[in-house]
Amino acid sequence: MSYPETRLRRFRRTPTLRRMVRETRLAAEDLVLPLFVCPGSGVENPVASMPGVAQQSVDKLVETAKATFDEGIPAVILFGLPETKDAVGASSWAEDGIVQRALEALAREVPDLVRIVDVCFCEYTDHGHCGVLTEERKGTVDNDATVENLARQAVSLARAGADIVAPSDMMDGRVAVIREALDDADLGEVAILSYAAKFASAYYGPFRDAADSTPAFGDRRSYQMDPANGREAIREVELDVEEGADALMVKPALPYLDILSEIRQLFDHPLAAYHVSGEYAMLHAAAQRGWIDYDRVLLETLTSIRRAGADMILTYGARDAARLLDSHNKVV
């Protein structure tokens, strides 16, 4: 009987052999945990569509952040649920805003944790859109007026203790304006992680439950990207790089691994991918029905995102993954 000279199975025989030749490594330090901060004290409101995720008051959020950092996860990204909303989202740049208070508490209680903040308005506006609406065209977001307010929000959050501001609005030109505003405010050390390729995805539904940010009318397809467009995503990234983005992000992750991979090949900037709420919720829904093994599929999913080129993965499953990685000597 004839056998092939090259036998790829020789290094697949045992877990140790497989680890020795593993091409893609996943570790807790690659992960970022999204957190939702709300008013009050001692508040922890579970999000029904996202098992394991809750809206938390500042004190509870700090407890979660401490545990997260102790588990080897280096960063969190914050989303705020304000006490009041208005047409422009002014509470997002208030000195005593909900995210500002959370940043100050985190800087004090968990100083080595990297504090990333989402910069947008969908959680803060009474209409649920990501910016200022025009008077002339009802329901249309005014790009330039929104960009001015994004800069105000970014400076306020940076002053409160953000290490990284992450504009997710998809307005044209916002990275350059935010960079200039931060520099003018003597906050030049604060980095910009741009949601450079954010698609108008149907995977965001559970997030809108968590952030109370469902649009009151219409949708966001006039400013977020068409899911069919790949070349346009590269143009978006090129513009953000030219404007001064320090790091780039693709959102969602799994349906856009091709985009993620191409960006990795073309740009040397740190690259993040957001494993979004719908992707996370689907894993839990299938696991609850006994259709998949949640632990194995979560790690396989996150590993695929790393393999496609992400340096950082934002995921609601960060703590689950860190636990699993720790049980496998921190690398699987």
Neighbours of 298 (CB within 10 A): 22
- Predicted confidence at residue 329, as pLDDT, reads 55
- Tens of pLDDT along 46-57? 999 999 999 999
Mean pLDDT of the chain: 93
What pLDDT is attached to residue 217?
76
* Averaged pLDDT for residues 176-197: 98
pLDDT at 263 over 50: yes
pLDDT tens digits along 234-255: 999 999 999 999 999 999 999 9
Instruction: Spell out the CATH class of 25-327.
Output: alpha beta
Q: Residue 161: is its pLDDT beyond 70?
A: yes
102-123 pLDDT tens trace:
999 999 999 999 999 999 988 8
Q: Where are the domains of the chain?
A: 25-327
User: What's the pLDDT tens digit per position in 214-227?
Assistant: 787 777 778 889 99
The set of catalytic residues is 198, 251
Q: What is the DSSP string of 244-313?
A: T-SEEEEESSGGGHHHHHHHHHH--S-EEEEE-HHHHHHHHHHHHTTSS-HHHHHHHHHHHHHHHT-SEE
Beta strands in the chain (DSSP E): 31-37, 44-46, 54-56, 75-80, 114-119, 164-167, 191-198, 247-251, 271-275, 312-315
- pLDDT band at residue 139 under the 50/70/90 scheme: confident
